[in-house]
Amino acid sequence: MTDTSSNQMWGGRFASGPDAIMEAINASIGFDRRMAAQDIAGSRAHAAMLAAQGVITDSDADAIRKGLLTVLSEIQEGRFEFSTALEDIHMNVEARLKALIGEPAGRLHTARSRNDQVATDFKLWVRDQIDAADVGLTALLHALVEQAEAGADWVMPGFTHLQTAQPVTWGHHMMAYVEMLGRDLSRFRDARARMNECPLGAAALAGTSFDIDRDATAQMLGFDRPSANSLDAVSDRDFALEFLSVSSICAMHLSRLAEELVIWSSAQFRFVSMSDKWSTGSSIMPQKRNPDAAELLRAKIGRIFGANVALMTVMKGLPLAYSKDMQEDKEQVFDAADSLLLALAAMAGMVGDMQANRDALAAAAGSGFSTATDLADWLVRTLNLPFRDAHHVTGTLVAKAEARGCDLPDLTLEELQEAHPDITMAVFDVLGVDNSVASRTSYGGTAPAQVRAQISRWKEMLK
Protein backbone atom coordinates (compact mmCIF):
# COMPACT_ATOMS: atom_id res chain seq x y z
CA MET A 1 0.00 0.00 0.00
CA THR A 2 1.19 3.50 -0.78
CA ASP A 3 2.51 5.42 2.24
CA THR A 4 -0.04 8.13 3.04
CA SER A 5 2.72 10.62 3.80
CA SER A 6 3.81 10.41 0.17
CA ASN A 7 0.35 11.22 -1.18
CA GLN A 8 0.84 14.63 -2.81
CA MET A 9 -2.61 14.83 -4.36
CA TRP A 10 -3.67 17.20 -1.61
CA GLY A 11 -0.77 19.52 -2.34
CA GLY A 12 1.04 20.94 0.71
CA ARG A 13 -1.92 21.41 3.03
CA PHE A 14 -1.24 18.40 5.29
CA ALA A 15 2.17 17.52 6.67
CA SER A 16 1.23 13.86 7.22
CA GLY A 17 -1.49 11.50 6.13
CA PRO A 18 -4.52 10.47 8.18
CA ASP A 19 -4.27 7.53 10.54
CA ALA A 20 -5.64 4.12 9.66
CA ILE A 21 -9.14 4.79 11.02
CA MET A 22 -9.49 8.04 9.12
CA GLU A 23 -8.17 6.38 6.00
CA ALA A 24 -10.73 3.61 6.35
CA ILE A 25 -13.69 5.94 6.82
CA ASN A 26 -12.53 8.39 4.17
CA ALA A 27 -11.66 5.97 1.37
CA SER A 28 -14.24 4.97 -1.21
CA ILE A 29 -12.03 3.09 -3.67
CA GLY A 30 -13.35 -0.20 -2.33
CA PHE A 31 -16.67 0.47 -4.05
CA ASP A 32 -16.34 3.44 -6.41
CA ARG A 33 -13.85 1.56 -8.57
CA ARG A 34 -17.00 0.33 -10.31
CA MET A 35 -17.17 3.76 -11.96
CA ALA A 36 -13.73 3.46 -13.57
CA ALA A 37 -15.04 3.36 -17.15
CA GLN A 38 -17.28 6.36 -16.54
CA ASP A 39 -14.48 8.28 -14.81
CA ILE A 40 -12.11 7.73 -17.71
CA ALA A 41 -14.79 8.62 -20.26
CA GLY A 42 -15.44 11.89 -18.42
CA SER A 43 -11.73 12.69 -18.24
CA ARG A 44 -11.22 12.01 -21.94
CA ALA A 45 -14.08 14.34 -22.83
CA HIS A 46 -12.78 17.02 -20.45
CA ALA A 47 -9.25 16.84 -21.87
CA ALA A 48 -10.50 17.00 -25.47
CA MET A 49 -12.60 20.05 -24.62
CA LEU A 50 -9.70 21.79 -22.85
CA ALA A 51 -7.51 21.30 -25.93
CA ALA A 52 -10.25 22.52 -28.29
CA GLN A 53 -10.57 25.66 -26.15
CA GLY A 54 -6.81 26.22 -26.05
CA VAL A 55 -6.64 25.72 -22.28
CA ILE A 56 -4.13 22.88 -22.70
CA THR A 57 -2.03 21.96 -25.73
CA ASP A 58 -3.01 19.33 -28.27
CA SER A 59 0.10 17.34 -27.41
CA ASP A 60 -0.83 17.25 -23.71
CA ALA A 61 -4.38 16.26 -24.60
CA ASP A 62 -3.10 13.47 -26.84
CA ALA A 63 -0.80 12.16 -24.10
CA ILE A 64 -3.70 12.27 -21.64
CA ARG A 65 -5.99 10.43 -24.07
CA LYS A 66 -3.47 7.65 -24.72
CA GLY A 67 -2.59 7.39 -21.05
CA LEU A 68 -6.22 7.11 -20.01
CA LEU A 69 -6.81 4.34 -22.55
CA THR A 70 -3.85 2.48 -21.06
CA VAL A 71 -5.27 2.90 -17.56
CA LEU A 72 -8.65 1.65 -18.75
CA SER A 73 -7.14 -1.46 -20.33
CA GLU A 74 -5.18 -2.17 -17.15
CA ILE A 75 -8.36 -1.97 -15.09
CA GLN A 76 -10.38 -4.09 -17.50
CA GLU A 77 -7.64 -6.73 -17.60
CA GLY A 78 -7.27 -6.82 -13.82
CA ARG A 79 -3.70 -5.47 -13.85
CA PHE A 80 -4.43 -2.18 -12.08
CA GLU A 81 -3.27 -1.83 -8.46
CA PHE A 82 -5.85 0.16 -6.53
CA SER A 83 -4.63 2.12 -3.52
CA THR A 84 -6.75 2.90 -0.47
CA ALA A 85 -4.37 5.75 0.36
CA LEU A 86 -5.44 7.47 -2.83
CA GLU A 87 -9.03 7.41 -1.53
CA ASP A 88 -11.16 7.07 -4.64
CA ILE A 89 -11.28 6.07 -8.27
CA HIS A 90 -10.53 9.61 -9.44
CA MET A 91 -7.25 9.89 -7.54
CA ASN A 92 -6.25 6.34 -8.39
CA VAL A 93 -6.69 6.99 -12.10
CA GLU A 94 -4.93 10.35 -11.96
CA ALA A 95 -1.98 8.94 -10.01
CA ARG A 96 -1.53 6.10 -12.49
CA LEU A 97 -1.87 8.53 -15.38
CA LYS A 98 0.92 10.66 -13.90
CA ALA A 99 3.12 7.58 -13.57
CA LEU A 100 2.51 6.79 -17.24
CA ILE A 101 2.77 10.22 -18.92
CA GLY A 102 4.31 12.56 -16.34
CA GLU A 103 3.61 16.30 -16.28
CA PRO A 104 0.66 16.42 -18.74
CA ALA A 105 -1.37 14.37 -16.27
CA GLY A 106 -1.33 17.32 -13.89
CA ARG A 107 -3.11 19.48 -16.47
CA LEU A 108 -6.13 17.17 -16.69
CA HIS A 109 -7.74 18.58 -13.58
CA THR A 110 -7.74 22.14 -14.92
CA ALA A 111 -11.20 23.75 -14.72
CA ARG A 112 -12.82 20.92 -12.81
CA SER A 113 -13.17 19.61 -9.25
CA ARG A 114 -13.73 16.19 -7.82
CA ASN A 115 -17.20 17.49 -7.00
CA ASP A 116 -18.35 17.86 -10.60
CA GLN A 117 -16.19 14.90 -11.62
CA VAL A 118 -17.90 12.47 -9.24
CA ALA A 119 -21.34 13.85 -10.03
CA THR A 120 -20.67 13.24 -13.72
CA ASP A 121 -19.24 9.77 -13.18
CA PHE A 122 -22.09 8.71 -10.95
CA LYS A 123 -24.71 10.08 -13.31
CA LEU A 124 -23.11 8.24 -16.23
CA TRP A 125 -23.10 5.03 -14.17
CA VAL A 126 -26.73 5.36 -13.14
CA ARG A 127 -27.69 6.14 -16.72
CA ASP A 128 -26.03 2.89 -17.81
CA GLN A 129 -28.06 0.98 -15.20
CA ILE A 130 -31.27 2.54 -16.46
CA ASP A 131 -30.38 1.39 -19.96
CA ALA A 132 -29.72 -2.12 -18.63
CA ALA A 133 -33.04 -2.10 -16.75
CA ASP A 134 -34.75 -1.04 -19.97
CA VAL A 135 -33.33 -4.11 -21.72
CA GLY A 136 -34.27 -6.40 -18.83
CA LEU A 137 -37.80 -5.06 -18.57
CA THR A 138 -38.34 -5.36 -22.30
CA ALA A 139 -37.27 -9.01 -22.23
CA LEU A 140 -39.67 -9.70 -19.34
CA LEU A 141 -42.52 -7.94 -21.13
CA HIS A 142 -41.95 -10.11 -24.20
CA ALA A 143 -42.05 -13.25 -22.03
CA LEU A 144 -45.32 -12.17 -20.38
CA VAL A 145 -46.94 -11.30 -23.70
CA GLU A 146 -46.00 -14.74 -25.05
CA GLN A 147 -47.60 -16.40 -22.03
CA ALA A 148 -50.71 -14.25 -22.48
CA GLU A 149 -51.00 -15.10 -26.14
CA ALA A 150 -50.67 -18.83 -25.48
CA GLY A 151 -53.50 -18.75 -22.93
CA ALA A 152 -55.66 -15.84 -24.08
CA ASP A 153 -58.85 -17.89 -23.62
CA TRP A 154 -57.81 -20.23 -20.76
CA VAL A 155 -60.16 -19.67 -17.84
CA MET A 156 -58.84 -19.30 -14.31
CA PRO A 157 -60.16 -17.81 -11.09
CA GLY A 158 -59.74 -14.13 -10.48
CA PHE A 159 -59.16 -13.32 -6.83
CA THR A 160 -59.82 -10.56 -4.35
CA HIS A 161 -58.49 -11.07 -0.81
CA LEU A 162 -57.04 -14.30 -2.28
CA GLN A 163 -60.63 -15.58 -2.37
CA THR A 164 -62.29 -16.66 -5.60
CA ALA A 165 -64.07 -13.63 -7.06
CA GLN A 166 -64.89 -13.95 -10.78
CA PRO A 167 -63.44 -16.04 -13.58
CA VAL A 168 -60.84 -14.38 -15.76
CA THR A 169 -58.44 -15.66 -18.39
CA TRP A 170 -54.80 -16.60 -18.03
CA GLY A 171 -54.01 -14.14 -20.79
CA HIS A 172 -55.78 -11.36 -18.92
CA HIS A 173 -53.82 -12.09 -15.74
CA MET A 174 -50.50 -12.09 -17.59
CA MET A 175 -51.39 -8.84 -19.31
CA ALA A 176 -52.05 -7.20 -15.93
CA TYR A 177 -48.34 -7.58 -15.21
CA VAL A 178 -47.52 -6.28 -18.67
CA GLU A 179 -49.39 -3.09 -17.82
CA MET A 180 -47.61 -2.76 -14.44
CA LEU A 181 -44.14 -3.38 -15.81
CA GLY A 182 -44.88 -1.24 -18.85
CA ARG A 183 -45.42 1.68 -16.49
CA ASP A 184 -42.10 0.85 -14.87
CA LEU A 185 -40.42 0.95 -18.26
CA SER A 186 -42.00 4.34 -18.90
CA ARG A 187 -40.80 5.63 -15.52
CA PHE A 188 -37.23 4.50 -16.18
CA ARG A 189 -37.28 6.25 -19.54
CA ASP A 190 -38.74 9.41 -18.01
CA ALA A 191 -36.06 9.36 -15.30
CA ARG A 192 -33.33 8.95 -17.90
CA ALA A 193 -34.56 11.94 -19.89
CA ARG A 194 -34.80 14.10 -16.77
CA MET A 195 -31.32 13.21 -15.48
CA ASN A 196 -29.55 13.65 -18.81
CA GLU A 197 -27.85 16.95 -17.95
CA CYS A 198 -24.08 17.11 -17.58
CA PRO A 199 -22.56 18.39 -14.30
CA LEU A 200 -19.03 18.57 -15.71
CA GLY A 201 -17.76 22.16 -15.70
CA ALA A 202 -19.60 23.15 -12.53
CA ALA A 203 -16.21 22.69 -10.80
CA ALA A 204 -16.28 22.77 -6.99
CA LEU A 205 -19.57 24.68 -6.73
CA ALA A 206 -19.31 28.07 -8.49
CA GLY A 207 -18.23 27.25 -12.02
CA THR A 208 -14.81 28.18 -13.39
CA SER A 209 -13.02 31.23 -14.78
CA PHE A 210 -11.45 29.15 -17.58
CA ASP A 211 -12.95 29.49 -21.04
CA ILE A 212 -14.54 26.05 -21.22
CA ASP A 213 -17.24 24.68 -23.51
CA ARG A 214 -19.72 22.79 -21.39
CA ASP A 215 -21.95 22.05 -24.36
CA ALA A 216 -19.07 20.18 -25.99
CA THR A 217 -18.38 17.93 -22.99
CA ALA A 218 -22.10 17.29 -22.56
CA GLN A 219 -22.38 16.24 -26.19
CA MET A 220 -19.30 14.01 -26.05
CA LEU A 221 -20.73 12.18 -23.03
CA GLY A 222 -24.19 11.72 -24.53
CA PHE A 223 -25.98 14.28 -22.38
CA ASP A 224 -28.72 16.47 -23.78
CA ARG A 225 -27.36 19.66 -22.23
CA PRO A 226 -25.10 20.94 -19.42
CA SER A 227 -26.72 21.48 -16.04
CA ALA A 228 -27.87 25.08 -15.61
CA ASN A 229 -26.78 25.79 -12.03
CA SER A 230 -23.34 24.92 -10.72
CA LEU A 231 -24.46 24.68 -7.08
CA ASP A 232 -27.23 22.26 -7.97
CA ALA A 233 -24.99 20.30 -10.34
CA VAL A 234 -22.54 19.22 -7.63
CA SER A 235 -25.06 18.80 -4.79
CA ASP A 236 -27.84 17.03 -6.71
CA ARG A 237 -28.43 13.33 -6.27
CA ASP A 238 -32.01 13.39 -7.51
CA PHE A 239 -30.99 11.19 -10.42
CA ALA A 240 -29.87 8.44 -8.03
CA LEU A 241 -32.91 8.90 -5.81
CA GLU A 242 -35.23 8.72 -8.80
CA PHE A 243 -33.48 5.59 -10.03
CA LEU A 244 -33.98 4.00 -6.61
CA SER A 245 -37.58 5.18 -6.41
CA VAL A 246 -38.47 3.80 -9.85
CA SER A 247 -36.51 0.64 -9.07
CA SER A 248 -38.49 0.22 -5.85
CA ILE A 249 -41.83 0.42 -7.66
CA CYS A 250 -40.60 -2.01 -10.30
CA ALA A 251 -39.22 -4.31 -7.62
CA MET A 252 -42.57 -4.28 -5.82
CA HIS A 253 -44.24 -5.47 -9.03
CA LEU A 254 -41.65 -8.20 -9.46
CA SER A 255 -42.22 -9.30 -5.87
CA ARG A 256 -45.98 -9.53 -6.38
CA LEU A 257 -45.46 -11.75 -9.41
CA ALA A 258 -42.90 -13.82 -7.52
CA GLU A 259 -45.43 -14.31 -4.71
CA GLU A 260 -47.99 -15.56 -7.21
CA LEU A 261 -45.49 -17.99 -8.69
CA VAL A 262 -44.80 -19.35 -5.20
CA ILE A 263 -48.53 -19.82 -4.56
CA TRP A 264 -49.37 -21.11 -8.03
CA SER A 265 -46.61 -23.72 -8.02
CA SER A 266 -47.76 -25.22 -4.70
CA ALA A 267 -49.45 -28.62 -4.57
CA GLN A 268 -52.62 -26.92 -3.34
CA PHE A 269 -52.91 -24.76 -6.47
CA ARG A 270 -50.93 -26.55 -9.23
CA PHE A 271 -51.60 -23.61 -11.56
CA VAL A 272 -48.02 -23.63 -12.91
CA SER A 273 -45.02 -25.89 -12.86
CA MET A 274 -41.45 -24.62 -12.72
CA SER A 275 -38.63 -26.63 -14.23
CA ASP A 276 -35.47 -27.65 -12.40
CA LYS A 277 -33.83 -24.54 -13.83
CA TRP A 278 -35.73 -22.40 -11.32
CA SER A 279 -36.51 -24.87 -8.54
CA THR A 280 -34.57 -26.86 -5.97
CA GLY A 281 -35.26 -30.03 -4.02
CA SER A 282 -35.36 -30.70 -0.30
CA SER A 283 -32.48 -32.24 1.62
CA ILE A 284 -34.82 -34.78 3.29
CA MET A 285 -38.11 -34.74 1.36
CA PRO A 286 -37.61 -36.24 -2.11
CA GLN A 287 -41.05 -35.19 -3.38
CA LYS A 288 -40.39 -31.47 -2.94
CA ARG A 289 -39.76 -28.96 -5.71
CA ASN A 290 -39.23 -25.60 -4.09
CA PRO A 291 -39.64 -22.31 -6.01
CA ASP A 292 -36.40 -20.96 -4.57
CA ALA A 293 -35.69 -18.52 -7.41
CA ALA A 294 -39.04 -16.78 -6.88
CA GLU A 295 -38.55 -16.75 -3.12
CA LEU A 296 -35.05 -15.29 -3.35
CA LEU A 297 -36.27 -12.67 -5.80
CA ARG A 298 -39.07 -11.78 -3.38
CA ALA A 299 -36.51 -11.33 -0.59
CA LYS A 300 -33.97 -9.33 -2.59
CA ILE A 301 -36.57 -6.65 -3.19
CA GLY A 302 -36.05 -5.49 0.41
CA ARG A 303 -32.50 -4.47 -0.44
CA ILE A 304 -33.81 -2.09 -3.10
CA PHE A 305 -36.39 -0.58 -0.75
CA GLY A 306 -33.67 -0.19 1.89
CA ALA A 307 -31.33 1.56 -0.51
CA ASN A 308 -34.04 4.07 -1.37
CA VAL A 309 -34.64 4.94 2.28
CA ALA A 310 -30.90 5.02 3.04
CA LEU A 311 -30.05 7.57 0.35
CA MET A 312 -33.06 9.74 1.21
CA THR A 313 -31.77 9.77 4.78
CA VAL A 314 -28.25 10.74 3.68
CA MET A 315 -29.50 13.65 1.59
CA LYS A 316 -32.30 15.04 3.75
CA GLY A 317 -30.22 17.32 5.98
CA LEU A 318 -27.44 18.54 3.69
CA PRO A 319 -26.99 22.25 2.97
CA LEU A 320 -25.68 23.28 -0.44
CA ALA A 321 -23.36 22.39 -1.96
CA TYR A 322 -21.19 19.28 -1.49
CA SER A 323 -20.69 17.50 1.84
CA LYS A 324 -18.66 14.38 2.46
CA ASP A 325 -21.88 12.64 3.51
CA MET A 326 -22.56 12.31 -0.20
CA GLN A 327 -19.80 9.74 -0.48
CA GLU A 328 -22.39 7.42 1.09
CA ASP A 329 -24.56 7.76 -2.01
CA LYS A 330 -23.02 4.94 -4.03
CA GLU A 331 -22.85 1.60 -2.22
CA GLN A 332 -26.59 1.29 -1.78
CA VAL A 333 -27.22 2.37 -5.39
CA PHE A 334 -24.70 -0.17 -6.65
CA ASP A 335 -26.32 -2.92 -4.58
CA ALA A 336 -29.84 -1.93 -5.62
CA ALA A 337 -28.91 -1.90 -9.29
CA ASP A 338 -27.32 -5.34 -8.99
CA SER A 339 -30.40 -6.69 -7.21
CA LEU A 340 -32.82 -5.16 -9.72
CA LEU A 341 -31.03 -6.38 -12.83
CA LEU A 342 -30.66 -9.87 -11.35
CA ALA A 343 -34.35 -9.91 -10.41
CA LEU A 344 -35.42 -8.82 -13.90
CA ALA A 345 -33.29 -11.50 -15.54
CA ALA A 346 -34.52 -14.19 -13.14
CA MET A 347 -38.17 -13.25 -13.59
CA ALA A 348 -37.86 -13.20 -17.38
CA GLY A 349 -36.34 -16.67 -17.17
CA MET A 350 -39.05 -18.01 -14.87
CA VAL A 351 -41.92 -16.55 -16.89
CA GLY A 352 -40.48 -17.88 -20.13
CA ASP A 353 -39.93 -21.31 -18.59
CA MET A 354 -43.10 -21.87 -16.55
CA GLN A 355 -45.85 -24.16 -17.81
CA ALA A 356 -49.43 -23.21 -16.98
CA ASN A 357 -51.70 -26.15 -16.07
CA ARG A 358 -54.81 -25.40 -18.13
CA ASP A 359 -56.92 -28.15 -16.51
CA ALA A 360 -56.11 -27.03 -12.97
CA LEU A 361 -56.82 -23.41 -13.89
CA ALA A 362 -60.19 -24.35 -15.39
CA ALA A 363 -61.17 -26.53 -12.44
CA ALA A 364 -60.37 -23.72 -10.01
CA ALA A 365 -62.19 -21.18 -12.17
CA GLY A 366 -65.45 -23.09 -11.77
CA SER A 367 -65.23 -23.39 -8.02
CA GLY A 368 -65.94 -20.98 -5.21
CA PHE A 369 -69.16 -19.60 -6.75
CA SER A 370 -67.11 -17.58 -9.21
CA THR A 371 -70.12 -16.87 -11.43
CA ALA A 372 -72.27 -15.40 -8.64
CA THR A 373 -71.83 -11.89 -10.05
CA ASP A 374 -72.87 -13.15 -13.48
CA LEU A 375 -76.07 -14.48 -11.92
CA ALA A 376 -76.75 -11.16 -10.24
CA ASP A 377 -76.11 -9.30 -13.50
CA TRP A 378 -78.50 -11.66 -15.33
CA LEU A 379 -81.24 -10.96 -12.79
CA VAL A 380 -80.76 -7.23 -13.37
CA ARG A 381 -80.69 -7.46 -17.17
CA THR A 382 -83.37 -10.10 -17.71
CA LEU A 383 -85.77 -9.66 -14.78
CA ASN A 384 -85.15 -5.92 -14.31
CA LEU A 385 -84.40 -6.38 -10.63
CA PRO A 386 -82.60 -3.57 -8.80
CA PHE A 387 -79.01 -4.67 -8.31
CA ARG A 388 -79.32 -4.77 -4.52
CA ASP A 389 -82.32 -7.12 -4.83
CA ALA A 390 -80.43 -9.24 -7.34
CA HIS A 391 -77.48 -9.33 -4.95
CA HIS A 392 -79.77 -10.64 -2.18
CA VAL A 393 -81.31 -13.33 -4.40
CA THR A 394 -77.88 -14.46 -5.53
CA GLY A 395 -76.63 -14.59 -1.96
CA THR A 396 -79.57 -16.82 -1.05
CA LEU A 397 -78.69 -19.20 -3.89
CA VAL A 398 -75.00 -19.25 -2.93
CA ALA A 399 -76.02 -20.25 0.60
CA LYS A 400 -78.25 -22.99 -0.83
CA ALA A 401 -75.44 -24.34 -3.04
CA GLU A 402 -72.98 -24.16 -0.16
CA ALA A 403 -75.37 -26.17 2.04
CA ARG A 404 -75.70 -28.77 -0.71
CA GLY A 405 -71.93 -28.90 -1.22
CA CYS A 406 -72.19 -27.95 -4.89
CA ASP A 407 -71.62 -24.91 -7.10
CA LEU A 408 -74.25 -22.62 -8.62
CA PRO A 409 -74.46 -24.37 -12.03
CA ASP A 410 -75.27 -27.61 -10.18
CA LEU A 411 -78.51 -26.27 -8.71
CA THR A 412 -81.71 -27.30 -10.47
CA LEU A 413 -84.07 -24.80 -12.05
CA GLU A 414 -86.58 -25.54 -9.32
CA GLU A 415 -84.04 -24.71 -6.65
CA LEU A 416 -83.16 -21.48 -8.42
CA GLN A 417 -86.85 -20.56 -8.69
CA GLU A 418 -87.25 -20.98 -4.93
CA ALA A 419 -85.18 -17.81 -4.64
CA HIS A 420 -87.06 -16.03 -7.43
CA PRO A 421 -89.93 -17.57 -9.42
CA ASP A 422 -89.16 -15.76 -12.69
CA ILE A 423 -85.74 -17.39 -13.20
CA THR A 424 -85.68 -19.45 -16.41
CA MET A 425 -83.41 -22.02 -18.02
CA ALA A 426 -81.66 -19.15 -19.81
CA VAL A 427 -79.81 -18.42 -16.58
CA PHE A 428 -77.59 -21.46 -17.11
CA ASP A 429 -76.03 -19.72 -20.11
CA VAL A 430 -74.28 -17.30 -17.75
CA LEU A 431 -73.36 -19.75 -15.02
CA GLY A 432 -70.54 -21.39 -17.01
CA VAL A 433 -67.10 -19.86 -16.62
CA ASP A 434 -66.44 -19.75 -20.37
CA ASN A 435 -69.64 -17.81 -20.93
CA SER A 436 -68.74 -15.58 -18.02
CA VAL A 437 -65.37 -14.52 -19.37
CA ALA A 438 -66.71 -14.19 -22.91
CA SER A 439 -69.32 -11.72 -21.66
CA ARG A 440 -66.74 -9.32 -20.17
CA THR A 441 -66.34 -7.38 -23.41
CA SER A 442 -65.86 -3.89 -21.97
CA TYR A 443 -62.56 -2.25 -22.91
CA GLY A 444 -59.81 -3.74 -20.78
CA GLY A 445 -62.03 -6.67 -19.76
CA THR A 446 -61.15 -10.34 -19.58
CA ALA A 447 -63.04 -11.49 -22.70
CA PRO A 448 -60.57 -13.32 -24.97
CA ALA A 449 -61.24 -10.86 -27.80
CA GLN A 450 -60.31 -7.96 -25.53
CA VAL A 451 -57.22 -9.79 -24.26
CA ARG A 452 -56.04 -10.47 -27.80
CA ALA A 453 -56.56 -6.82 -28.70
CA GLN A 454 -54.30 -5.76 -25.82
CA ILE A 455 -51.72 -8.39 -26.79
CA SER A 456 -51.64 -6.97 -30.33
CA ARG A 457 -51.24 -3.44 -28.98
CA TRP A 458 -48.31 -4.43 -26.79
CA LYS A 459 -46.62 -6.50 -29.48
CA GLU A 460 -46.66 -3.44 -31.67
CA MET A 461 -45.32 -1.23 -28.86
CA LEU A 462 -42.51 -3.67 -28.09
CA LYS A 463 -41.23 -3.93 -31.66
- DSSP assignment, residue 103? G
Q: Is 382 exposed, middle or buried (0-12, 13-18, 19+ CB in 10 A)?
A: middle
Residue 199: other Cβ atoms inside 10 A: 30
State the Cα–Cα distance between residues 184 and 119, nearest whole angstrom. 25
- Sign of the four-CA dihedral 272, 278, 284, 286: positive
| Three-class secondary structure of residue 80 per DSSP | coil
Residue closest to 302 by CA, chosen among 236, 258, 353, 360: 258
C-beta separation of 29 from 92 below 8 A: yes
C-beta separation of 459 from 180 below 8 A: no
Distances, alpha carbon 103 to alpha carbons 61, 98, 99, 142, 146, in Å: 12, 7, 9, 53, 59
Distances, alpha carbon 83 to alpha carbons 28, 86, 96, 101, 330, in Å: 10, 5, 10, 19, 19
Angle at the Cα of 179 from the Cα atoms of 173 and 184, rounded to 5 degrees: 135
Helix, strand, coil fractions of the chain, as percent rounded to 5: 65, 5, 30
State the Cα–Cα distance between residues 353 and 111, nearest whole angstrom. 54
Partnered with residue 164 across adjacent β-strands are 159
What backbone phi and psi angles, to 5 degrees, belong to 99? Answer: -65, -30
Catalytic: 282?
yes
Catalytic: 109?
no
* CA 23 to centroid of chain Cα atoms: 35
State the Cα–Cα distance between residues 158 and 168, nearest whole angstrom. 5
* Residue of 186, 282, 367, 456 marked catalytic: 282
* Residue of 6, 16, 161, 283 marked catalytic: 161
Angle at the Cα of 462 from the Cα atoms of 456 and 463, rounded to 5 degrees: 95
Active site amino acids: 161, 282
